Amino acid sequence: MILFRRFIGRALWRDPVRTAVTVAGLTLGVAVVLAIRLANTGSVRGFERALELVAGRTSLELVGAGVGVAEPALAELGWLREHGRVSPVIDRTALVLTPDGTEWPVRVLGVDILRDQPFRDYRLLQITEDNLDDVRPQDFLELLVDPGSLILTEQFASRHGLTLGGPARLVVGDVVHEMSVRGLLRDEGPARVVDGQLALVDIATAQWLFARIGWVDRVELQLFEPEAIDEIEAKVSARLPEGVQVQRPAQRGRQVEKMLAAFHFNLNALSYIALIVGVFLVYNTVAVSVIARRREIGTLRALGATRGRVLRLFLGEAAALALVGAGLGAPLGWLLAQGAVRLTSTTVNTLYVTSAATVPSLGLADLLLALGVTVPLALLAAAQPAAEAAAVPPIDAVRQIDPSAQARRASRRPQVVAAVAFAVAAWCSTRPPVDGLPLFGLAAALAVVLGAAMLVPALLSWLQRVGRAPLARWLGVEGLLAHANLSAAVSRLAVSVAALVVSLAMLAAIAIMIGSFRETVAYWVGQTLQADLFVAVGDRAPVGAPLTISADTEAQLASHPQVRAIDPFRNVDLPYGPDGDLIILGAGDFQVLLDYGGLLFKAPADARTAMRAAVDADAVVVSEVFANKHGVSAGEWISLDTPGGRRSFKVAAVYYDYSSDRGLVVMDRRTFTRHYGALRPTGMTLYLDPDADPDGVRDELLAAAGPDTRLFIQTNATLRQEVLRIFDATFAITYALEAIAIVVAIMGVAATLLTLVLERRHELAMLRLVGAGRRQIRRMVIIEATLLGALSQGLGLVVGFVLSLILIYVINVQSFGWTIQFHLPVGFLAQSTLLVAATTGLAGLYPAAVAMRTSGGDRER
Amino acid sequence: MRGWRFVCVVAALLAVLDVMVSTGVGAQDRGATTSDGWRQATSGYSMAFPRDHGSHPDYRIEWWYYTGNLESADGGRYGYQVTFFRVGVDPAPENPSAWAVRDLFMAHLAVTDVDGGRQWVAERLERGGIGWAGARTGTLEVWNGDWQAELVGESHSLVAFDREFGVELSLDPGKPPVLHGEAGLSQKGETPGNASHYYSLTRMPTTGRLLIDGDEVEVFGTSWMDHEFGTSFLEPGQVGWDWFSLQLDDGSDVMLFQLRRNDGRAPRLAGTWVAPDGTTRIIQPGDIELADGRRWTSPASGAVYPVEWRLSLGDPSAELGVKPMLDAQELYTEESTGVTYWEGAVEVSGEVEGRPVRGLGYLEMTGYVGRPMSEFFR
């Protein structure tokens, strides 16, 4: 231990910059991995926590096919009483307009207040001004008779100036309801959902408010014998009528988790890039210290240290770095997670599910994960240099050693590894996904990265041979010197350069993928968005909490003289297939779509004819994602759950869609109503007379709707922009993760350069002696840095291109199932190349300054 | 008569509604109790059966009340009570939802194991909703979940089970229906209209089975059924009541009650004498004397109930002592309706017109705990 402290500790201490860079790199790597992990858990946990709070003591629940349970079916379920207490529930979202002028989404729970009490721990705080403490259910009675009553949480009411007995305005879809606050819930049980954003109403009121007369969203069951849940679930399941399923409340959480799995998996994978780059730095640090201290190692060996002891010393160095990195990275990760949640929650809320994501607190498990991932990786990275150190013979203590002697020891081994890696990559990219996750695709990407990294030394040697003349010609004597310096240090630089190449290749690949995706989406939007106006309620409806358009509003829109046709659409979430994946079932007016719309069909060739046959028939069109994920093609039949039981629908056509990775099944409005009942639409597309001015009509429609309207109408042009804006917001986190990885990598290059500079103190002094100016020295070092940057970017672009093909054609297809047209974002790549060169040049400033100081100091001595 | 404790709930509800109307908070205007569409119990109504066993949805309040003393083949003694209530809330709800509350349906189930010294109680509170509780018109069919009373031929079939206890009984009508008061119009307050239509089946031979603590017992015995409907019953100043239904071994049956007041005035008394042949006689208030005796303190609610009574009647002359089969027959309903009361099987002994008699019956005592009823009438 003393030896470790003296030999390793002191050396790390004496080279603070490199040690700091390595630790910082690891810290950032660990932090990013943890941040994404925490943020991902946070978004699912937020949903699950709300689920648990609302579910209360519910053991089982009965759900219908996407649209809930119809009352006639419910009336037949009296026998459920044998197993436990039964409570029908309507569970929705609405907005409360508060007296302070703000509006807040609230979860509206509609329950049979008379029988729901045992299910949830809500306690009415007050019901009259008498301030009664615990109110019995009979006091809920007044809530029953007045359909304008609602109960809010004490927390929410006091925060927004709402008072007991006072008015509250509740916005459901595009209708504002004047309600009154009849009770306040104490801050416990479901009242704790999302900062108390919960409203409780009677189920009759809820049915009326949300236009669900005749339906309930689900039926909850609290078992008398919760320990026999498995047996009872099976019994209930066997006795339920068609169209009603029994599940556990946590099932909804699992469905959401599954829905987000691909998105989260890819974010996770991306987050590991920064850590891998950090591990490269560990390798670099250990390797450099082994090379630089060959004589000392020799001395140690001569003094009796065994090989094993030397090996342990250097592995110890890596472990120490990893421990510090993980220790610092964990709290930093938690901080970063706050930002990551903000970045990802937009995406999650836009595309998947509304949940108030909160970052869970840092647990022991997270710390263990940080250590468990970082320390082994660091040890693995240090294994080779440490083994080399252990192989140093004692004689080296007295032998004059050229630190760069290693460079000349040419070895073919890396090229062989590279070749094998590329072969593995090629094989992996033909493998199918594992459990819906692109594991082989990622393995392929990893293999390409590994292969590229292995090629870096050979490439550097080759460039060393061909680069001398051009450098001398373009950059003069400093260029020549830079070339000489870099050539001398190829083996050591190779690692830093490889790290940078890996990061830059990833960036290039992701840029190409996103650029291609964006082009594809832009083309799709251009083809598909044909309507003139798009009507919705609010500027964006949260997923799972549809904001509906009332019948009055629909009639008003249709009555505008320049509106030629209206296509109202409605989506519901529907479990599909053996795993119960949540797909989106949509209803639209096929006739209007055929006459005016512009779906982009993939198959069959005469898709329009097929779709015409699907009007008011038991037929559907499905998105490409759905077809890929579930192996369905045009002309086949699929089974969908409906409130009346499982029904077969013919797949009339497959169309391109980029609005969701969950898979869409769309049927004609008439077909939908026949099977699922009439639901108010969540959006409408309006087709106008050819000579109409969309902006003008939009203004007229909004004016007719009145100043308080909740309607949000977009023209074709603004919606297209909006789609691309959402697209860009979705990928913001991707760029953020990548940027962090690149920062780590550039720090690595700077650290390596610094090492070189420090080792070359004597040479630099000599240069000064032979007449080199301080500025020339600086220029030389900056040229070295910039050269490395440009080189890395060049190689990064090539590798990135290959990676992007894997991303687009393997990983994307396996995790999302989209067709992405390949497109090179030339402008972006050119910009990033310049930027990387400039940044590495800048990163060279510090080593350059050190070089100037050292060389100057040497001269004065 | 007996269901007045539920009337407390209704009164509370009405009080709330009145506040809502007077402060203009209510979404829709609801008038006074009698002007919002409910029918008053007035004279001139003519009872007919089985029609009047059925529901009377025009009236706000209605109940079907079954109690009885039963025994098993091995001599075990049991008491039971099954009650169904309908309380009108809004005769025509504005909300088209099936869950909109027109009526509330409540039910109580109690079984007393006299020899085991234990009573079991369960209760239900439901809305009509999608038919999980309700009552038919035209004939007897009233249900709350899977608890129900219905006419099977001439017999009343009663089924009500909780998880550990319950009853499944068949009750023969026995004597013809006894119409209380003036041809079934039972005046409850001093104001006209504060009355109910009220009849009883006072001696119903009963067979069936009980579930006691998970064990089934075959039983036989005698039951008493009350059915009462009206719209407004109560007046301010009433704190509670004591009610007796007694079946004597000479074949006579007696119904008696006193309404206790808190304004210092004497209790309001009423009664009906049913002869063995089914003929009835109103017992005049002046011919009734009720004296309470031994007291029992409920460990659950802290209420002190006079569980023993002496009844003195003038015409026919009778001296009767009433003792509980079991002291602990309190229904402590903190969980739902919140009205706590004592209702239990009793045995009676004494003499009628100088002849010794014994008998069985049921006693109900309310207003001994909690908020006095008068509070609901502020």
Using one digit for the tens of pLDDT, what is the confidence trace for B211-220?
Answer: 998 899 999 9
- Which of A213, A248, A283 lies at the terminal end of a domain, its last residue? A248
- Tell me, what's the pLDDT at A132? 45
Residues of B near A (CB-CB distance < 8 A)? 9, 12-13, 16-17, 20, 25-28, 89-90, 93-101, 104, 125-127, 129-132, 145-146, 163, 334-338
Burial B96-129 (b: 16+ CB within 10 A, else e): ebbbbbebbbbbbbbbbbbeeeebbbbbbbbbbb
What percent of chain B is modeled with pLDDT above 90? 58
Q: Domain of A454? A: 413-530+717-861
CA A26 to CA A180: how far, in whole Å? 56
- Which of A401, A421, A444 lies at the terminal end of a domain, its last residue? A401
Q: Which residues of B touch A213 (CB under 8 A)?
A: 96-98
* pLDDT average, residue stretch A818-835: 83
Determine the distance from the C-alpha atom of residue A77 to the mean position of all C-alpha atoms in its chain, rounded to a whole number: 42
Nearest to B27 among A136, A146, A207 (CB): A146
Residue A653 sits in the same domain as residue A592: yes
Contact A675, A644 (CB under 8 A): yes
- Tell me, what's the pLDDT at A354? 54
Q: Is residue A542 part of a domain?
A: no
Would the CB atoms of B126 and A114 count as touching at under 8 Å?
A: yes
Q: Which residues of B touch A75 (CB under 8 A)?
A: 130-132
- Which of A338, A373, A401 lies at the terminal end of a domain, its last residue? A401
Q: Which residues of A touch B16 (CB under 8 A)?
A: 141-142
Chain A residue nearest residue B18, CA to CA: A142
Residue with tokens 């209930």: A236
Would the CB atoms of A203 and B94 count as touching at under 8 Å?
A: no
Task: Name every residue whose Cβ is closer than 8 Å to that of residue A537 and which is 6 or more positions away in sequence.
Answer: A173, A174, A547, A548, A549, A682, A710, A711, A712
Using one digit for the tens of pLDDT, what is the confidence trace for B326-352?
Answer: 999 998 765 555 567 899 999 999 999
Has residue A386 got a pLDDT over 60? yes
Chain B residue nearest residue A84, CA to CA: B163
Nearest to B146 among A71, A78, A214 (CB): A78
* pLDDT average, residue stretch B259-283: 89
Has residue A610 got a pLDDT over 80? yes
Contact A29, A177 (CB under 8 A): no
Higher pLDDT, A359 or B137: B137
Residue A66 sits in the same domain as residue A52: no
- Tell me, what's the pLDDT at A818? 79
- Tell me, what's the pLDDT at B321? 97
* pLDDT average, residue stretch A705-730: 82
Question: What's the DSSP call for residue B3?
Answer: T
Indicate which of A141, A143, A170 best probes the interface with B, i.e. most B CBs within 10 Å of its own CB. A141
Contact B196, B44 (CB under 8 A): no
Structure tokens of B370?
């909690």
Neighbours of A499 (CB within 10 A): 30
Q: Is residue A764 part of a domain?
A: yes
Residue A359 sits in the same domain as residue A461: no
Using one digit for the tens of pLDDT, what is the confidence trace for A625-638?
Answer: 899 888 899 999 99
Rounded to a whole number of angstroms, the distance from the CA of A145 to the nearest CA of chain B is: 6
What percent of chain B is modeled with pLDDT above 70? 85
Residue A87 sits in the same domain as residue A42: no
Would the CB atoms of B12 and A148 count as touching at under 8 Å?
A: no
- Tell me, what's the pLDDT at B282? 92
Chain A residue nearest residue B24, CA to CA: A165
Higher pLDDT, A120 or A332: A332
* pLDDT average, residue stretch A406-411: 50
Has residue B165 got a pLDDT over 80? yes
Higher pLDDT, B93 or A504: B93
ipTM over 0.90: no
Residue A21 sits in the same domain as residue A91: no
CA A622 to CA A450: how far, in whole Å? 39
Report how many Cβ contacts below 8 Å link chain A to chain B: 87
Chain A residue nearest residue B93, CA to CA: A145
Would the CB atoms of A78 and B90 count as touching at under 8 Å?
A: no
Residue A105 sits in the same domain as residue A222: yes
- Tell me, what's the pLDDT at B362? 96
Using one digit for the tens of pLDDT, what is the confidence trace for A768-819?
Answer: 788 777 788 888 888 888 888 888 888 889 998 998 898 888 888 887 777 8
Has residue A406 got a pLDDT over 60? no
CA B285 to CA A588: how far, in whole Å? 75
Residue A584 sits in the same domain as residue A620: yes
Q: Is residue A536 part of a domain?
A: no
Q: Is residue A540 part of a domain?
A: no
- Tell me, what's the pLDDT at A182? 82
CA A749 to CA B197: how far, in whole Å? 98
Would the CB atoms of B163 and A146 count as touching at under 8 Å?
A: no
Question: What's the DSSP call for residue B51?
Answer: G
Using one digit for the tens of pLDDT, what is the confidence trace for A223-256?
Answer: 888 888 899 999 999 998 888 888 888 777 777 7
- Tell me, what's the pLDDT at A530? 83
Three-state SS at A636 = coil
Largest distance between two CA atoms of chain A: 100
* pLDDT average, residue stretch A29-38: 82
How many domains is chain A partitioned into structurally? Answer: 4
* pLDDT average, residue stretch A665-670: 94
Q: Which residues of B touch A148 (CB under 8 A)?
A: 27
Residue A743 sits in the same domain as residue A846: yes
- Tell me, what's the pLDDT at A648? 94
CA A811 to CA A164: how far, in whole Å? 55
- Could you tell me the pLDDT band of residue A408, with boundaries at 50, 70 and 90? very low
Most confident listed range (A173-177, A235-239, A276-280, B219-223): B219-223
* pLDDT average, residue stretch A423-451: 86
Three-state SS at A641 = strand
For chain B, domains (ranges, CATH) are 4-24+48-373 (2.40.370.10)
- Tell me, what's the pLDDT at A137? 47
- Could you tell me the pLDDT band of residue A397, with boundaries at 50, 70 and 90? low
Rounded to the nearest integer, the mean pLDDT of chain A is: 81
CA A138 to CA B7: how far, in whole Å? 12
CA A116 to CA A140: how far, in whole Å? 11
Chain B residue nearest residue A138, CA to CA: B337
Structure tokens of A737?
């993760």
* pLDDT average, residue stretch A298-309: 83
Contact A844, A780 (CB under 8 A): no
CA A588 to CA A683: how far, in whole Å? 10
Rounded to a whole number of angstroms, the distance from the CA of B332 to the nearest CA of chain A is: 14
Residue A326 sits in the same domain as residue A305: yes
Using one digit for the tens of pLDDT, what is the confidence trace for B293-305?
Answer: 999 999 988 889 9
Indicate which of A79, A114, A128, A224 best probes the interface with B, i.e. most B CBs within 10 Å of its own CB. A114
Neighbours of A269 (CB within 10 A): 19
Is residue A513 packed enough to be buried (19+ CB in 10 Å), middle (13-18) or exposed (0-12)? buried
* pLDDT average, residue stretch A597-622: 88
- Could you tell me the pLDDT band of residue A620, with boundaries at 50, 70 and 90? very high
Would the CB atoms of B17 and A142 count as touching at under 8 Å?
A: yes
- Tell me, what's the pLDDT at B281? 92
- Tell me, what's the pLDDT at A547? 77
- Tell me, what's the pLDDT at A441? 87
Chain A residue nearest residue B87, CA to CA: A141
- Could you tell me the pLDDT band of residue B155, with boundaries at 50, 70 and 90? very high
- Could you tell me the pLDDT band of residue B78, with boundaries at 50, 70 and 90? very high
Residue A569 sits in the same domain as residue A692: yes
Would the CB atoms of A144 and B98 count as touching at under 8 Å?
A: no
Would the CB atoms of B16 and A224 count as touching at under 8 Å?
A: no
Closest CA to A281 of A497, A74, A59: A497
Rounded to a whole number of angstroms, the distance from the CA of A715 to the nearest CA of chain B is: 38
Q: Which residues of A touch B27 (CB under 8 A)?
A: 146-148
Of A163-177, A341-355, A576-590, B152-166, least confident by mean pLDDT is A341-355
CA A654 to CA B370: how far, in whole Å? 70
Rounded to a whole number of angstroms, the distance from the CA of B337 to the nearest CA of chain A is: 6
Neighbours of B139 (CB within 10 A): 14
Residue A666 sits in the same domain as residue A567: yes
- Tell me, what's the pLDDT at B277? 93
Rounded to a whole number of angstroms, the distance from the CA of A79 to the nearest CA of chain B is: 9
Nearest to B146 among A71, A81, A115 (CB): A81
Nearest to B95 among A136, A208, A214 (CB): A208
What percent of chain A is modeled with pLDDT above 90? 12
Would the CB atoms of A214 and B338 count as touching at under 8 Å?
A: no
* Phi, psi of A185, deg, nearest 5: -95, 135
Of A82-96, A378-392, A746-760, least confident by mean pLDDT is A746-760
Using one digit for the tens of pLDDT, what is the confidence trace for A282-293?
Answer: 877 787 777 777
Of A488-492, A510-514, A741-745, B29-33, least confident by mean pLDDT is B29-33
* pLDDT average, residue stretch A173-194: 80
Q: Tell me the one-letter amino acid at A850.
A: V
Closest CA to A411 of A455, A464, A467, A468: A455
Residue A507 sits in the same domain as residue A555: no
Q: Which residues of A touch B104 (CB under 8 A)?
A: 114, 141
Closest CA to B255 of B267, B241, B243: B243
Would the CB atoms of A136 and B25 count as touching at under 8 Å?
A: no
Q: Which residues of B touch A142 (CB under 8 A)?
A: 13, 16-17, 20
Residue with tokens 């460990």: B299
User: pTM above 0.80?
Assistant: no
Using one digit for the tens of pLDDT, what is the confidence trace for A197-230?
Answer: 888 899 999 999 988 899 999 998 888 888 888 9
Q: How far is CA A612 from CA A25, A592, A607, in A?
A: 59, 10, 9
